[in-house]
Amino acid sequence: MTMQNLALFDLDNTLLAGDSDYNWSLFLIGEGLLDAKTHHDRNEQFYADYKNGCLNIVEFLKFQLQPLSQHPKAFLDELHKKYMQKVIRPMMTEKAQNLVNKHKAAGDLCAVITATNSFVTKPIATAYGVEHLIGSDPELVNGEYTGNVTGVPSYKEGKVTRLNQWLAERGKKLSDFEHSYFYSDSHNDLALMKLVTNPVAVDADEILKTYAEEQAWPQISLR
Q: For the whole model, what pTM was predicted?
A: 0.96
Specify the CATH number for the domain of residue 83: 3.40.50.1000
For the question of residue 19 being annotated catalytic, the response is no
pLDDT in tens, 156-182: 999 999 999 999 999 999 999 999 999
Judge whether 83 lies within some domain: yes
CB 131 within 8 A of CB 150: no
Q: Is residue 1 part of a domain?
A: no
Distance CA 221, CA 21 (A): 21
Catalytic (active site) residue 12: yes
Confidence of residue 215 (pLDDT cuts 50, 70, 90): very high
Amino acid at 164: N
Considering 10, 19, 108, 203, which one is annotated as catalytic?
Answer: 10
Which among 43, 26, 149 is positioned nearest to 88, based on CA atoms? 26
Catalytic residue (one of 12, 19, 137, 189): 12
Mean pLDDT, the chain, as a whole number?
Answer: 96
- The answer to whether residue 18 is domain-embedded is yes
User: What's the confidence (pLDDT) of residue 3?
Assistant: 84
| pLDDT tens figures, 115-131 | 999 999 999 999 999 99
213 found inside a domain:
yes
So what's the pLDDT on residue 55? 92
Closest to 10 in 3D by CA, of 167, 216, 199, 213: 199
- Our count of domains for the chain comes to 1
The per-residue pLDDT for 12 is: 97
